[in-house]
Structure 1
C-alpha cells in the first residue's frame, strides 16, 4: 500500500475505532436512544408511508410509448384500468339473461363503478343481430324456421314434456315416411341434455342453437367491461370494487350453485392478483427465511447473544431505512417494496463481518475493550469501502427512465449508509451486554478453511476450470433473452390469468391487441386498409364495421321470416302435479322411443339415423333410472327433464320475435354506449388491430409491434406496452450497470490506490455476472420485469465480498493460505449463506416472477461465493508462490 493510502486508511481506522469504543463504553445510553429513535420512526412510518400500486408510474412518462398510451387514455378514458367480467353458461339464452341482469345491477352502483358496458347485450343487438349475418345464412335460417314452425307453435301452446315428446314422435314418423326434415340438431340436442341430467351435471337445451341449426356448444360466453373506482392509497386499489361486483352477482342469482359461472380478469384484476400472489409468496418466504437465517447465524456465531445482535441491527436498520423512504419518497411501489429484502441480504453482511472480526480478536486473547477498538477500526474501514461501492451501485439507477427502480435505488443506497452507522453504533453497544461469556473457539473456522484450501492446493486446476467455464459462458451469452410477456410472471393457476389466457385463444376477440387513432373517417379507412395488408395482422375493426352491408336484401328475408313464424303465443301452462302426470310423460317418451326404433330399423342409411340412435340410447338410460326409482323420485326426475328441455324456449322465442323487428340503420344510429368506444367526442376514430400470430412468443410480439408501428406510429395497447416497457427496463439496467461500474471503478481506485487490486476486486464480480447470465439460458429462466431487480443486489454482494477479501489481504498483508482461515473468509461465507436462504425460499413462490427472482439470486449468490472464496484467493497468491508452482 502507498503511504497516502495508509494514511487515509489510518484516519478511517482511527475514526471507527474511537466511534465503536465510545458506543461500547456508553452502551446503555446508546441503546436507550436507539430504542426511542426506533419507536418514533416506527410511528412516523406507520402514519405517513404510502403505497403506490399504479404500475404505469414505474417508467418515465416521457417515453414514447407512455406518451402514446396517455394520449389514447385521454381520448378514450373508459378503456383504461378496467375489469373484464366473463360469464359462462350452458346456453346462449342463460348467458345473455345473466349478462343483462348483472350489467343493469352494476350500472346502479355508481359508488364503485365509473362505467359498465356489455358489448353484446342490450336492445340494439337483440333487435338488429340478424343484420350481421350474411345473406346465405339468413336464407338458411328462414328455411329452417319455416320447416320447424308447426313444431314450435304446438310446443309453445302446450309447453310440457308430454306435448314435446308427442310432437317429436310425429316429426320422426314424418321423417320415416320420407318427408325432408332436418331433425339432427334437435335429436342430438335432446340426447345431450338427457345424458347431462343422468350424469347429474344438468344443462338446459338451447332453442336458439336449434333455430340456427347449430350443435350446442359446451359453454357460451358473454363479457362485461367494467371501469372500477380505484383507491391507490390502499395496497389493493380495486379490492372494494371487486367485492361489490361479487355481491352484485349474488344479488342477480349468479352464484356457485347457478348454471352461470362468473370470472373476473382484465388489467386491474391481473394487477390485483399479481400483487396478492407476490405478497403471499413473500409471507411464506419470510417465515421459512427467518427460521433458516437463525440456523445459519447459529452456525456462524455459536452464541445466542451474537445472533440477537445481528437481528437487532437488522431490525433497527430496516425501521430507519423505512423512515428515510417516508421522508425522501413518501411511498413505496411494487418494486421499491423489495428494499426490505435487499436490506436483509446486505445489512446482515455488515453485521456478520463486524461481529465475526470482534469474535476472532477475542479468541486470540484480547480484552473486550481492545477487541472492540481493533474490530471497530478494521471492520469500519472495510465496511465504509463497501458502503461507498454499494451506494454507488444503487444510486446509479436514479438517472434512468425506470422510476420504480430509481426509487428503490435511492432508498436502498441510503439504507447501506444507515446499515453502516447502525452496525458500528448499536452493534458495539449490544456487545457491552451480549454475549456475557467468551465464546469457545469456532470449529467452523477449520472446516470452512479446509474446504477452501483445496482451491489453493489445486490452483492450476482452478485456473483451468475458470478459463474453460468463462469461454463456454461467453459462447452461450448471446442466447440470453428478456421475456416481455407480463403474464409469464404471474401464477398460472390464478383465476384472472387462466381466464385471460382463455380469451387470448380467441384470436378474433383477443384482449391482447393494438389500438390506433385516426383523425377522421377517411384516415380510418385508409389506415385500416394498410394495416390489414400486413402479414402480422389478422384483421382490423373500426366503428364502420358495426354498420352491416346489404341491409335492404337482409331486411326482406327478415320480413319473410316474421311472416313464416306468425304470431306464436307462448302459454304459461304449468306442469300438472297429479300422479297421472309422470305416467303420461313416461308413455309419451316410450312412444318416441318406439318411433325411433322403427326409423332406425327401416331407414338405417338415413343421415339422421346416427343421431336417432344416440337419442334412443339416452332414452333407454332414462327408462332404466326411472324403473329403479320411487314415485317421488320419478316425478322429480321427469320434471327436471321437462325443465331442461323447455326452460329456454320462451327466451329464445322472444329474442327471435325481437330480431324480426330489425330496421335499417347507419353509423349515426349506433347506441351511444357502443359509438363512444369507437369514436371520441373530438371526432377521433379508434382502430383495433388483432395479431395473426400468438403473441406469447416474444419474436412474434416484436414482429407484430414493429409492423404496426411502421404504419401507425401512435399505436398503443398491451403488446406495445409490454415490448416497449421491457426494452426501456433493459436499457435502464444497462445504463445503470455501466454507470455503477464506472463509479465503482473510480471509488476503488481512490480507496485502493492500485489498478491491480481494483481489477482483483472487479474480476469475481464480472465472472459471477457472466456465469449467472449464462445459467438463465441453461435453466430456461430468462430475464423479466421481476428478476432483473436482482441485479443491483448481486452487484452489491459481489463488490462487498471481493472487496472484503482484498482489503483484509492488503490491510494485514496476509497470504492466501492464512486469509482463507480468517474471520473475513468465514464472514463472507456465512453472510452469503444467510442471503442464500433468504432468497432461495422465493423459488417456491406461486408467483413466477418472484420465483424466477429467487432462482436468479440463488444462482448469482452461489457464483459470487465461488468466485470470491475459490477463484480470488488463488489470484491473491504472492508472485513468488505462483512462480514456485
Structure 2
C-alpha cells in the first residue's frame, strides 16, 4: 500500500479515536454550533417561490418577461375568479356585485378588472359585434317586440301564456315567426320547475337569437395584497373571497358558483398540496426508514445515532445555505431531500463496517481505529466525487439549479465531517455491539450470490438492456406544463384546465410588446394568419370598424323596441289572477301547440313546439296531483308564482341593459376610459398584443407548436406559454451541461484518488448504466421528466457514485468476488439504497403530482442502481480479477 495511503489511514484512525476519547466535548461543541446555526437560519433564511426568479435575468425570455411586467404590473400575481350562473343576466349581476365588494376590500386587494362590467363596454357593446350579428339581433327584436310590449303592460304568467298562444295560432295560419328558441327555452324552464328547481328564462339570450345554455361564465381579475411574512402569502385574500361568496349564495355544487384560479391560487394550492403531501409522505417514510434501520442494525442505539447525525448535518447544511445564498427556491429546497438520501449512506457504511470489525476479543477503540482508517478514505472519496457532481451545476444559467449544486455539494462535505466526528463520539453513548449475522443478511447474501453462477447470462441481459435503452432514448419527454405538477383535484387546477379549453377565455396566451402603435397592425395581420392562432386582440380592437353602418342598425333596433318600461309594482299583478285562470291560460297554450304540431308536423318549430306542449302537459298534471294535499291550493299558487318569476323576473333588467346599449353613439380612441386603455398600453407607452391559441395548450405538443409559431414572427414574445416552454428547455440544457461537467469532474477526481484507469472505469460503468436504464424506464412507464422530478437525477448520480466507489474500493483491499458480497460494504449499499428507496418512495403517494412523480422516478432509479451495483458490477470485478490472473 502506498505511503500516502498509509498516511491517510493513520490520519483518519487518529481522527475517529480523538472524537471517541473527547466525546463529551465533541458532542457539546457540535450541539452548540448546530443550535447557533439553527437560530441564525430561522432568522435569516428566506424562500423564493417565483419560478421565473430561478432563471438568470440574462436569459432572453426572462428579460422579455421582466420588460412585460414593468410595462403592465397589473397582470402580475393575480387571482382569476370564474363566476357561473344559469343565465347571462344572473352571472353579470353577480359579477358586478362581487366587483363592488372587491373594490371596497382595500386591506386585501389593490386592483380589480372586470372587463364585461365596464360601464363603457356595457353601453357600447353592440359596436363590437359584426354587421351580420347585429342584423340577426334586429330581426329577433322585431319578432319579439309585440311580445315584450304586451308583457311589459302585464308581466304575468297569464299574459305570457296568452301571448305565446296567439303566436302559435299565427304560426298555424302561416305567418313566419322564429319562435324555436323561445319554445325550447320556456320548455326547459317548465321542466326544471316541475323537478323542483329554478331555471330562469334568459331574455338576453332570446333577444340575441341564441339558444339558452346550461350555464354562463364571467371572469374577474383581482390583484391581491400578498403577505410574504406568512407561508401562504395569499391565504387571507382567498379566504375573504370565499366568505363573501358564501354570503352571496354561491356554493361549489349549486347552479350559482364561484371558483378561484389564476397564478396566485395555483401557487397557493401547489404549496398546500406539496406541504401536506410531504407531511403525509414524511410520516410514512419515518416509519419505513426506522424499520429498515432496525433490520440493518437490530439496535435502537445505532438507529438513534444515524438519525441524530442526519438531523444535525441537515441543520448545518441549512445554515451554510443561509450564509452562502441567503434564500431557498423551489429547486434548491430539494437539498434536504438530497442530503437525507445521501447523508444516511455515510452513517450506515461507517456503523456496519464497525460492526463487522467488532470483535469481543479486542477493545472497542481498536475496532473503531480500524474502522476510521478503512472508511475514512472511502467516505472522503465519495464525498469529494459527489460534491464535484453537485458543484458542476453551479455554472449553469438556471439559478435554481446552480444554488442547489452549491448547497448540496457542500452538504456532502458536511455529512462526511459529521460522520467522521460525531458518530465516533456517539459511540460512547450508543456503542455498536457484536452480533451474529442475521438470517435476513444470510438470505440476501444467498440471493446476491446467484449472478456469480450465471456470468454469461448477466452479460447477455446487460447488453440487451443497453441496446433496448439506446433505442428508447429518443422518446424521452419533458413535460413543460406546470399544471401537471399540482394536485389535479384542486379547484384552481380544474378551473384553469377548463379555461384552457376555451380559446376566448384561455388564461394562457402570448403577449407581444411593441413600442409604436404603427407596429401593431402589421404584426396582428401576420400572427392572425397562423393556423396555431385562434384570435389576436390589440389596441386596434378597442375602436370597432364600420361604426356608421352599425350605428344605423342600432338606431333601427331602438325604434323597433320603442319606449318599453316596467313599473316597480308591475309584478304584483300576478296576484290578481287566480290559480284556475292561470291554469286555463297554460292549457289553452298547450292546445294551440298541439294543433300546430298535428296540422303541420314538418314545420320548422314543430319539434320545439312539441317539447313545450309535453312540458305544459306535465306541468298541468303536476298541478293536478297537488290538489290531493290539504293545502293543495296554496301549494299550486306557490308553484305558479315561482314559475312566473322563472319566466319573467329577468325581463326588466334585460330590457334596461338593451336600452342602454341602443343609446350608444360612434366613438374614437380618445373616448376610451383609462381603465380599459391601461390594459393594452403601459404607462411607459409600450403596447400589448394578446395572442390566443387555436388548440388547448394544456397539451405539450400543442404548446410547443403555438409558441414556436408566434416566436417566428415575434421572437421577444412572452407570457406563460413561452415561459413554460423556454424554462423547461433551460432546465434540460442546464442539467445536460451540469451532468457533462459532473461526469468530467468525477472522472478526473476518481483517477486522481484511485490512481488506476481500470478502477475508474469500473466505478463509472454502473453509474452510466443506471442513468441509461433509468431514462429508458421513464419511456417504458410513460413518466416524462418535469420541473420537479428532474431533481431526482443528482440524487441518483450521488448514490451511483458512492455505491460503485465503495464496492471498487473494497475489492481493491484484497476482497475477492465470493467474499465481496458477504461484507458489510455490500450490506451497507443494500440497506442505504433501501432506506432511500422507502424514504423517498413514499413520495409516490403525495397528492402533489410533481412530488409524486419525483418519488416514482427515485424508486425506479434506485432499484436500477441496486441492480447495477450489486449484480452487474461484481460480475465485472470478477472478470477483471480473472484477467489479472487472480482466480475467483
Corresponding residue SS for 2:878: coil
Change (3 A) 1:386 1:478: same
Task: Report what 1:823 is aligned to.
Answer: 824
Task: Report what 2:745 is aligned to.
Answer: 743
Q: CA deviation at 1:280?
A: 2.0
Q: CA deviation at 1:625?
A: 2.8
Measure the CA separation in 1 of the matches of 2:467 and 2:339. 34
Q: CA deviation at 1:210?
A: 0.8
Q: CA deviation at 1:258?
A: 6.2
Q: Tell me the alpha carbon deviations over residues 702-753 of structure 1, each in whole angstroms, 9 at most, x when there is no partner.
A: 3332332222121111221112111111111111111111111111111111
Show the 5 A alignment for 1:696-711. 696-711=698-713
Measure the CA separation in 1 of the matches of 2:432 and 2:344. 22
Corresponding residue SS for 2:534: strand
**Greater shift in the superposed pair: 72-81 or 441-450:** 441-450
Aligned residues: 880
Give the one of 561, 570, 584 matched to 2:581: 584
**Greater shift in the superposed pair: 163-172 or 796-805:** 163-172
Change (3 A) 1:489 1:201: farther
Q: CA deviation at 1:430?
A: 2.2
Measure the CA separation in 1 of the matches of 2:409 and 2:773. 25
Matched, 1:496 2:492: yes
Q: CA deviation at 1:588?
A: 2.4
Measure the CA separation in 2 of the matches of 1:580 and 1:545. 51
Measure the CA separation in 1 of the matches of 2:247 and 2:667. 36
Corresponding residue SS for 2:214: coil
**Greater shift in the superposed pair: 103-112 or 70-79:** 103-112
Matched, 1:164 2:157: no
Matched, 1:682 2:670: no
Task: Report what 2:113 is aligned to.
Answer: 117
Give the one of 791, 805, 808 matched to 1:806: 808
Measure the CA separation in 2 of the matches of 1:845 and 1:200. 42
Show the 5 A alignment for 1:528-547. 528-547=524-543
Measure the CA separation in 1 of the matches of 2:165 and 2:107. 55
Matched, 1:188 2:189: no
Measure the CA separation in 2 of the matches of 1:703 and 1:66. 20
Task: Report what 1:620 is aligned to.
Answer: 617
Give the one of 465, 476, 489 matched to 1:480: 476
**Greater shift in the superposed pair: 827-836 or 441-450:** 441-450
Q: CA deviation at 1:699?
A: 3.8
Measure the CA separation in 2 of the matches of 1:473 and 1:165. 73
Q: CA deviation at 1:337?
A: 1.8
Q: Tell me the alpha carbon deviations over residues 157-191 of structure 1, each in whole angstroms, 9 at most, x when there is no partner.
A: 22222222222222222323333222211111011
Matched, 1:867 2:864: no
Are the counterparts in 1 of residues 120 and 673 from structure 2 also a CA contact under 8 Å? yes
Task: Report what 1:691 is aligned to.
Answer: 693
Task: Report what 2:854 is aligned to.
Answer: 853
Give the one of 391, 405, 412 matched to 1:409: 405
Q: Tell me the alpha carbon deviations over residues 562-593 of structure 1, each in whole angstroms, 9 at most, x when there is no partner.
A: 12211111133344797974333333222322
Change (3 A) 1:563 1:535: closer
Are the counterparts in 2 of residues 53 and 232 from structure 1 also a CA contact under 8 Å? no
Corresponding residue SS for 1:549: coil
Are the counterparts in 1 of residues 181 and 211 from structure 2 also a CA contact under 8 Å? yes
Corresponding residue SS for 1:115: strand
Q: CA deviation at 1:256?
A: 4.8
Task: Compute the TM-score of the two structures, normalised by the length of structure 2.
Answer: 0.95
Corresponding residue SS for 1:350: helix
Task: Report what 1:594 is aligned to.
Answer: 591
**Greater shift in the superposed pair: 32-41 or 514-523:** 32-41
Show the 5 A alignment for 1:752-831. 752-810=754-812, 812-831=813-832
Are the counterparts in 1 of residues 155 and 573 from structure 2 also a CA contact under 8 Å? no
Are the counterparts in 2 of residues 532 and 538 from structure 1 also a CA contact under 8 Å? yes
Change (3 A) 1:581 1:429: farther
Q: Tell me the alpha carbon deviations over residues 597-624 of structure 1, each in whole angstroms, 9 at most, x when there is no partner.
A: 2322233232222112111222222233
Are the counterparts in 1 of residues 497 and 698 from structure 2 also a CA contact under 8 Å? no
Change (3 A) 1:738 1:197: same
Change (3 A) 1:596 1:871: same
Q: Tell me the alpha carbon deviations over residues 100-131 of structure 1, each in whole angstroms, 9 at most, x when there is no partner.
A: 11112212223322321112222212111111
Measure the CA separation in 2 of the matches of 1:880 and 1:369. 34
Task: Report what 2:375 is aligned to.
Answer: 379
Measure the CA separation in 1 of the matches of 2:295 and 2:361. 22
Consecutive unaligned residues in structure 2, runs of 5 or more: none
Task: Report what 1:521 is aligned to.
Answer: 517
Corresponding residue SS for 2:328: strand
Corresponding residue SS for 2:564: coil
Measure the CA separation in 2 of the matches of 1:693 and 1:598. 47
Change (3 A) 1:156 1:10: farther
Corresponding residue SS for 1:716: coil
Give the one of 601, 605, 614 matched to 1:604: 601
Are the counterparts in 1 of residues 359 and 367 from structure 2 also a CA contact under 8 Å? no
Are the counterparts in 2 of residues 705 and 719 from structure 1 also a CA contact under 8 Å? yes
Are the counterparts in 2 of residues 106 and 248 from structure 1 also a CA contact under 8 Å? no
Task: Report what 1:391 is aligned to.
Answer: 387
Task: Report what 2:312 is aligned to.
Answer: 316
Task: Report what 2:417 is aligned to.
Answer: 421
Corresponding residue SS for 1:398: coil
Q: CA deviation at 1:773?
A: 0.8
Matched, 1:839 2:840: yes
Are the counterparts in 1 of residues 309 and 419 from structure 2 also a CA contact under 8 Å? yes
Measure the CA separation in 2 of the matches of 1:751 and 1:166. 99
Change (3 A) 1:575 1:15: farther
Give the one of 122, 129, 138 matched to 2:125: 129
Consecutive unaligned residues in structure 1, runs of 5 or more: none
Change (3 A) 1:579 1:521: closer
Task: Report what 2:40 is aligned to.
Answer: 44
**Greater shift in the superposed pair: 749-758 or 321-330:** 321-330
Measure the CA separation in 2 of the matches of 1:725 and 1:797. 27
Q: Tell me the alpha carbon deviations over residues 742-785 of structure 1, each in whole angstroms, 9 at most, x when there is no partner.
A: 11111111111111101111110000000001111111111111
Q: What is the aligned-residue RMSD (CA, Å)?
A: 2.1
**Greater shift in the superposed pair: 209-218 or 837-846:** 837-846
Q: Tell me the alpha carbon deviations over residues 509-544 of structure 1, each in whole angstroms, 9 at most, x when there is no partner.
A: 422221112222221111212222333333322111
Measure the CA separation in 2 of the matches of 1:589 and 1:43. 78
Are the counterparts in 1 of residues 186 and 201 from structure 2 also a CA contact under 8 Å? yes
Measure the CA separation in 1 of the matches of 2:442 and 2:399. 47
Measure the CA separation in 1 of the matches of 2:881 and 2:301. 43
Matched, 1:245 2:241: yes
Q: CA deviation at 1:879?
A: 4.6
Measure the CA separation in 2 of the matches of 1:517 and 1:759. 53
Q: CA deviation at 1:10?
A: 2.4
Are the counterparts in 1 of residues 155 and 574 from structure 2 also a CA contact under 8 Å? no
Task: Report what 1:228 is aligned to.
Answer: 224
Give the one of 640, 647, 650 matched to 2:649: 647
Change (3 A) 1:535 1:135: closer
Matched, 1:430 2:395: no
Measure the CA separation in 1 of the matches of 2:880 and 2:713. 64
Corresponding residue SS for 1:61: coil
Are the counterparts in 1 of residues 261 and 493 from structure 2 also a CA contact under 8 Å? yes
Change (3 A) 1:717 1:681: same
Corresponding residue SS for 1:120: helix
Are the counterparts in 1 of residues 23 and 428 from structure 2 also a CA contact under 8 Å? yes
Q: CA deviation at 1:233?
A: 4.1
Task: Report what 1:153 is aligned to.
Answer: 149
Q: CA deviation at 1:435?
A: 4.6
Q: Tell me the alpha carbon deviations over residues 450-473 of structure 1, each in whole angstroms, 9 at most, x when there is no partner.
A: 111111121111111111111221
Are the counterparts in 1 of residues 350 and 375 from structure 2 also a CA contact under 8 Å? yes
Matched, 1:265 2:261: yes
Measure the CA separation in 2 of the matches of 1:436 and 1:387. 24
Corresponding residue SS for 1:517: strand
**Greater shift in the superposed pair: 548-557 or 627-636:** 627-636
